Amino acid sequence: MTAQENLTTIEPVNGPLVGSISVPGDKSISHRAVLFAAMAEGTSRLSGVLDSEDVRSSLGAVSKLGAKVNLEKAPDGSLYGGITGWGVKGPSAPSEPIDCGNSGTTTRLLMGILAPWDIEVELTGDDSLRRRPMRRVSGPLSRMGAKFLPEDQDTLPLTIHGTRNLKALDYDAPVASAQVKTAILLAGLSADGTTRVTEPSPSRNHTELMLPEFGAHTTAASGVAEVVGPTTLKASEVVVPGDPSSAAFIACAAALIPGSAIQIEGVSLNPARIGFLRTLEQMGVDASRRSVSSSGKELSGIISVQYCDKLHGCEVPADKIPSLVDEVPVLALVAAHAKGITVFRGVDELRVKETDRVAAVIDGLAKIGVDAWADGSDLFIEGNPDLVIPEGVKFETGKDHRLAMTWALAGLSGNCPVQVADFESCAVSYPAFLSDIRSLVRER
Ligand code: S3P
């Protein structure tokens, strides 16, 4: 470790987590609300929008492209207000590159949004984003007629030059990715005819659920989504529910910290997002959910989780991974405390997230004496119910927000303080993570 390293010490909590909490707005739904509003004709009204670095990347991008953003901070920390879109006149060419920060969703969705317009836009991002694969989106969009420069380059910075003569596409996606699917569907809105994306297993469907609210003709079945173009989105209203991926950290904290019993309110219960609850249940955790409302077509409700003193390993099949893709690191930490081996099948996609999360989980768990390994596409964790965290552990995160929160949780739920490098990266998705956890602690 060098002197410049930015380490945060995380102390164990001194009591169980008890009571109710709301988590910030869903990141995926917030991005879509902002981006679809920017594309639409008229002024959309948004509320519950997540105020985090990633969503700010989308807000900054649409402002540079000519949408009028008028959002304010609500008392609960979310953003609300209006976004007036560019509608039929289209986005304006920005005078400088658009910096998408750490946000893969901003980048990939923008590629689809810009594909139908005859302007040049350079997209770039931070070190992590500039390592992530983009050909999975530029490839199919090129088949529709858009150009990306430098040609054949997989990574940012990329300059997109769209075309008003985009062709509809029937695309068999090689990976289950909501970002890829959404980019193609958004481009397809401007193409003549039906654009269809078929996935190997269904990824999150927020786009398919939200586009009809903006007046688009969309059909969705498990693993197949279609839009019919050409069409212009019309302003709408979006109420963003709480983020299940943020809720997962609270849920796993409750499962690990003795005596805990918590409820998370107002959280999205979209089945494509709550695979982590099923995995916790399979590990023996008393975890349940109750739907209480829907915002648009998105279900939301309450998640309840209790401490479990008899965690056991389980197997998560490959076709369930998309429903918990962002939760694998924190579930791996729970698995580290479980009796027996847990296996996550088919986790190759984790290698191209903000960091290589398969390697990061294996390295991080090794620091606390837990054996984890990859075999082909599968990730194995050999848990230890009597796990004792050694003194002086320093976790690396590669500035990956989900790793920062996972390793912080190792300390919060453990027997001694740990150090987490670049813990502040949790601001990408859940800036108030630590204070939210601490607000639930009932001190002994
Ligand atoms: C997201 C989709 C997922 C997820 C990411 C957000 C989205 O990625 O990991 O954090 O908002 O569409 P995939 O594109 O791999 O499904």
As a whole-number percent, the residues of the chain with pLDDT over 90 amount to 95
Whether the per-residue pLDDT at 153 is higher than 50: the answer is: yes
Angle value at C-alpha 244, between 242 and 248, nearest 5 degrees: 130
Whether the per-residue pLDDT at 39 is higher than 90: the answer is: yes
Task: Read off φ and ψ for residue 132, nearest 5 degrees.
Answer: -90, 150
> Is 326 a catalytic site residue?
yes
Cβ–ligand 1 contact at 349 (below 6 Å): yes
Across the range 269-275, mean pLDDT stands at 97
Domain regions of the chain by residue span? 2-24+241-439, 27-239
SS3 state at 434 = helix
Whether the per-residue pLDDT at 165 is higher than 70: the answer is: yes
Q: If you take atom 11 of ligand 1, which residue's CA is the nearest one? A: 28
Neighbours of 306 (CB within 10 A): 16
Shortest-distance atom of ligand 1 to CA 32: 11
How many residues in the chain? 444
Q: Answer for the pair 111, 137: CB distance below 8 angstroms, yes or no.
A: yes
Across the range 420-443, mean pLDDT stands at 97
Shortest-distance atom of ligand 1 to CA 28: 11
pLDDT band at 220 (very low <50, low <70, confident <90, very high): confident
335 C-alpha to center of ligand 1: Å?
23
User: Catalytic residue among 326, 400, 422, 436, which?
Assistant: 326
pLDDT (tens digit, 9 = 90+) per residue, 318-367?
999 999 999 999 999 999 999 999 999 999 999 999 999 999 999 999 99
pLDDT (tens digit, 9 = 90+) per residue, 282-325?
999 999 999 988 777 899 999 999 999 999 999 999 999 999 99
27-239: what CATH class?
A: alpha beta
Q: Answer for the pair 418, 407: CB distance below 8 angstroms, yes or no.
A: yes
SS3 state at 438 = helix
Q: Answer for the pair 396, 373: CB distance below 8 angstroms, yes or no.
A: no
Pocket test for ligand 1, best of 204, 354, 402 (most atoms within 8 A of CB): 204
Whether the per-residue pLDDT at 278 is higher than 70: the answer is: yes
Cβ–ligand 1 contact at 105 (below 6 Å): yes
Whether the per-residue pLDDT at 1 is higher than 80: the answer is: no
Please, what is the average pLDDT of the chain? 97
pLDDT band at 444 (very low <50, low <70, confident <90, very high): confident
Neighbours of 431 (CB within 10 A): 18
Cβ–ligand 1 contact at 326 (below 6 Å): yes
2-24+241-439: what CATH class?
A: alpha beta
What H or E segment, with its residue span, contains residue 411? helix 401-412
State the DSSP string of 342-371: EEE---GGGGGSSS-HHHHHHHHHHHTT-E
393 C-alpha to center of ligand 1: Å?
30
71 C-alpha to center of ligand 1: Å?
24
Whether the per-residue pLDDT at 136 is higher than 70: the answer is: yes
Cβ–ligand 1 contact at 84 (below 6 Å): no
Cβ–ligand 1 contact at 268 (below 6 Å): no
Across the range 391-401, mean pLDDT stands at 98
Neighbours of 310 (CB within 10 A): 10
Q: What is the DSSP letter of 245?
A: H
Annotated binding-site members for phosphoenolpyruvate? 27, 104, 132, 179, 357, 402
- Pick from 78, 108, 252: nearest CA to 184: 108
The side-by-side arrangement of strands in the sheet containing 394-395 is 7-10, 418-421, 394-395
Are 2-24+241-439 and 27-239 equal in CATH topology? yes
Model confidence, pTM? 0.98
Residue 5 has what pLDDT?
83
Shortest-distance atom of ligand 1 to CA 108: 14
